[in-house]
Amino acid sequence: MTDQEERTLALFYCQNVPGSSEKERQDLELRYPKSLRLFPIPCSGRLEPLHLLRALEDFADAAYVVACPEGLCRYFEGNRRAVKRVERTKSILRSIGLEEDRAGVVMGVESIPKTLSIHVEELMALVSRMAPSPIPRI
C-alpha cells in the first residue's frame, strides 16, 4: 500500500452542490474505495465542529466541507456558517497541536460552480501530500 492510499478524507458536502447526486456519490466511492468517506448533508451550515473533529479522531487524515458557491445557498447563509464553523475547528486543531490544514471548507464561485467530482479530485491531491494523521487509531 502506498502512502497516498493510506490517507483518508472525510468529505461532508451540501446536497445542492452541482454534481452531488446519488449516482455521482457512488461513482466517487468506487473510484476512491478506501481513501474517501462521503457524508451528504442538507446544508453545509448544519455541520458542527464536532462532526469534523469526530471524523479526524475516528478515521480521517483530513475532514473537509464542500459548500454551495457563494451567493447560491438556498438557505441564504449556510455556506457562511460553514466557513465560521470550520474556522472554529481549525482553532481547536491548533490548540491541540495538529495542523489546521486537516480541516477546511471549499466552495466554487457563482459564475463557474465546480462539481463535487472536481472538488474531490482537488482535495484528494491535497490530502495525498499530507503526512499521516498523528492520532492513534484503535
Q: Within a domain: residue 133?
A: no
CA dihedral 123, 138, 91, 126 (to 10 degrees): -20
For residue 16, give the CATH number of its domain: 3.40.50
Q: Within a domain: residue 26?
A: yes
pLDDT: is 59 or 135 the higher one? 59
- pLDDT on residue 68: 87
Q: Are 87 and 104 in contact (CB under 8 A)?
A: no
Q: Within a domain: residue 138?
A: no
Domains in the chain, number: 1
Q: Within a domain: residue 27?
A: yes
Strands ordered across the beta sheet of 36-41:
36-41, 9-14, 62-67, 103-107
All three cell numbers of 113: 460552480
**The model's pTM:** 0.91
Q: Within a domain: residue 135?
A: no
Q: Within a domain: residue 110?
A: yes
**Number of helices (H), then strands (E), in the chain:** 5, 4
Q: Within a domain: residue 20?
A: yes
> Does the structure show a pLDDT above 90 at 111?
no
Q: Within a domain: residue 137?
A: no
